[in-house]
Structure 1
């Protein structure tokens, strides 16, 4: 009797498995759609990856072949001299340190400020909340211009000062809007329960809100890190008297301009030294090497934050 019951149970299980297999069996249309979908996104990924690959193989290939445009799919005469040559750029080492310090410190302070300010403007009991929030948004649309900005920075003592990189970017209105929108999507009951237990605003922000904001804060961190890493205009304007405070992007910009100027002089028949001629001939590879040095750190960091970035930017776009 027990054997028959066990057999019937096994038959029922087999029927359920077969039924589920039939339910999840892909139709011909689904198979065609998946093939087209994977093919399209595979080609799209390849198209996005190809420029980086092309630039990289030109930087590690023979400079004469690269300058002649003969490097297409595979590197030839592989070497790393172009990257080692960047060590000879004036203030290259200090520029790397300044840029990394600026990116880390500036991004960290901006994330903290964006999180806290975004949390504050979600509180209806905040004094003058609507005024301060609208005042914050207005700064996104109105700008005094470059010269008033420089005069203001000069009067504040932020020229030839490392803090000139950090202080102006701490409060970012767009990031505050993203954080505010994200915090409004968090159930209010979480804060209410903590408030009933006697937790104040800072405690609720530190224990409840801040940990739940990781996706949007990762998004803000990516925006901030990209802005700090790629910026060179402020370095060119503010740090003219202190080359040791210039950023990597500005130093590479000067180096690239030097190579282009030497190439122009060479075409015009100017008298150049051997070192100058070498720089002029390797102008194309210099451009590619500078590009790779500029983007490699961001490419290395972005994959670790991409999943938070996707979630944060989608939720932050639900409300305005």
Structure 2
């Protein structure tokens, strides 16, 4: 009985330690973004003196002025549009190719699969990539954001592993009823792959949203600029931008003095660029976790 009591006490102490450790670890992970958020909505003069857990006098003038810039709304829409289109196409065609690789009747199936997987380890570099994109006529084209990367080797591995766990009788019964490849994929395999599809959708959307090098090197058209490149430029020009916006606020308010500091501008820009993609996770969290767990157990 004594040993059981000691064992129970040890387990409780371990649970307490575990909860405290995980709470502190979560705080360390979350606090940097929280700090950026509260700094961006604080009065610049008070925030410069130091803030920790609460905003210092709510002030949204930095957001109002940053979002009032002519280039921001259009660039934001371009980024949202390219992320949505790329994610849909990447998930669908990567899943289709993954399903094709599970078919034993596919000619050179293993060879083609190994060629696709080898792309994860072999990279020709930036210059060949630039020449290839330019040769394909993707310079100053919206397709630059969509076509390259539709087929992703890592996503194919995840989806292929998931599909291989499905009962073969599903496909066999559909084939007996006369269903072809596309019918089986669109009506049976793809709908049943919802957990792994959600996982891949999160990966693809985050990756596409954060990508900026294609825009930076190959797009000169102002109508095709994405929010990432524009905000990157604003971050590098935060001092001059803060001065200009402060002058705009002063003129608009008939002499009202408001100091927009470079730090406040940087914090506001960071929140604007990060917040949209964070909002994706709550909608896909359940299936994302389920897909990750299935990949870890069955993969």
Is the TM-score greater than 0.5? yes
Q: Does 1:305 align with 2:284?
A: yes
Bigger radius of gyration: 1
Instruction: Please give the alpha-carbon distance, in whole angstroms, between the structure 2 residues aligned to 1:280 and 1:182.
Output: 55
Change (3 A) 1:30 1:260: same
Aligned length: 285
Q: Which residue of 2 aligns with 1:249?
A: 228
Instruction: Please give the alpha-carbon distance, in whole angstroms, between the structure 1 residues aligned to 2:123 and 2:259.
Output: 40
Q: CA deviation at 1:81?
A: 0.8
Q: Is contact 1:56–1:288 with CA below 8 Å preserved after alignment?
A: yes
Q: Which residue of 2 aligns with 1:169?
A: 149
TM-score normalised by the chain length of structure 1: 0.82
Instruction: Please give the alpha-carbon distance, in whole angstroms, between the structure 1 residues aligned to 2:15 and 2:120.
Output: 43
Q: Which residue of 1 aligns with 2:172?
A: 192
Unaligned runs of 5+ in 2: 1-6, 251-257
SS of 1:167's equivalent in the other structure is coil
Instruction: Identify which of 101, 119, 123 aligns with 1:121.
Output: 101
Q: Is contact 1:113–1:170 with CA below 8 Å preserved after alignment?
A: yes
Instruction: Identify which of 286, 293, 299 aligns with 2:265.
Output: 286
Q: CA deviation at 1:133?
A: 0.6
Q: Does 1:98 align with 2:109?
A: no
Q: Is contact 2:102–2:164 with CA below 8 Å preserved after alignment?
A: yes
Pairwise mapping of residues 1-320 of structure 1 onto structure 2 (< 5 A)? 27-66=8-47, 68-240=48-220, 242-260=221-239, 275=247, 282-318=261-297
Q: Is contact 1:219–1:308 with CA below 8 Å preserved after alignment?
A: yes
Change (3 A) 1:69 1:299: farther
- After alignment, is 190-199 or 49-58 more displaced? 190-199
Change (3 A) 1:83 1:281: closer
Instruction: Please give the alpha-carbon distance, in whole angstroms, between the structure 1 residues aligned to 2:178 and 2:215.
Output: 47
Change (3 A) 1:82 1:273: closer
Q: Which residue of 2 aligns with 1:3?
A: none
Instruction: Please give the alpha-carbon distance, in whole angstroms, between the structure 2 residues aligned to 1:92 and 1:281.
Output: 18
Query: Over aligned residue pairs, what C-alpha RMSD do you find?
Result: 2.5
Q: CA deviation at 1:29?
A: 4.3
Instruction: Please give the alpha-carbon distance, in whole angstroms, between the structure 1 residues aligned to 2:49 and 2:174.
Output: 65
Change (3 A) 1:167 1:273: closer
Instruction: Please give the alpha-carbon distance, in whole angstroms, between the structure 2 residues aligned to 1:188 and 1:41.
Output: 42
Q: Is contact 1:90–1:251 with CA below 8 Å preserved after alignment?
A: no
Q: Is contact 1:178–1:316 with CA below 8 Å preserved after alignment?
A: yes
Instruction: Please give the alpha-carbon distance, in whole angstroms, between the structure 2 residues aligned to 1:158 and 1:85.
Output: 34
Change (3 A) 1:178 1:63: same
Unaligned runs of 5+ in 1: 1-25, 267-271
Instruction: Please give the alpha-carbon distance, in whole angstroms, between the structure 1 residues aligned to 2:133 and 2:264.
Output: 37
Q: CA deviation at 1:195?
A: 2.0
Change (3 A) 1:40 1:273: closer
SS of 2:59's equivalent in the other structure is coil
Deviations 1:210-252 (A, max 9, x none): 1111111111111111111111111111112x01101101000
Instruction: Please give the alpha-carbon distance, in whole angstroms, between the structure 2 residues aligned to 1:299 and 1:100.
Output: 13
Q: Which residue of 2 aligns with 1:20?
A: none
